[in-house]
Amino acid sequence: QVQLQESGPDLVKPSQTLSLTCTVSGVSMTSSYYYWTWIRQPPGKGLEWMGAMNTDGSIWYNPSLKSRTSISRDTSKNQFSLQLSSVTPEDTAVYYCAIGDRLDSTNRGEYDYWGPGTQVTVSS
């Protein structure tokens, strides 16, 4: 079965960099052609697509977050990671990794698999 699991700190101080890792099992990051995606949901708000990497290694970012966002992968570990720099309290959200065959959807149903999400709070 395909499983995704987010991991990383649950508290980040303002101005620091938020770093999360998604560990994927049951599907190959190099042989299965998906978009490997980071999505977040601030409290009381809808889903916000942050960015994605495809199986070839190409990367796309939400223009509103591009200057602060970096997505990378470690294919040997079947992991992909998110870094969000210069965080503020408005970056507090549940962060999800997800995979599917659509690039930048904010519709949960258009993704095939999701991690359970991890709550990240930005606070001093």
The answer to whether 24 and 79 are in contact (CB under 8 A) is yes
pLDDT grade, residue 32 (50/70/90)?
confident
Please tell me the distance from the alpha carbon of residue 89 to that of residue 92, in angstroms, as a whole number: 5
As given in the structure block, the two tokens for residue 110 are 């258009």
Count of C-beta atoms within a 10 Å radius of residue 47: 18
Count of C-beta atoms within a 10 Å radius of residue 46: 9
pLDDT in tens, 2-15: 999 999 999 999 99
Please tell me the distance from the alpha carbon of residue 31 to that of residue 28, in angstroms, as a whole number: 5
pLDDT grade, residue 107 (50/70/90)?
very high
Q: How far is CA 14 from CA 11, 53, 93, 110, 124, in A?
A: 10, 26, 14, 33, 6
In the chain the first and final C-alpha atoms are separated, in Å, by 39
Share of the chain above pLDDT 70, in %: 100
Rg (CA), the chain: 13
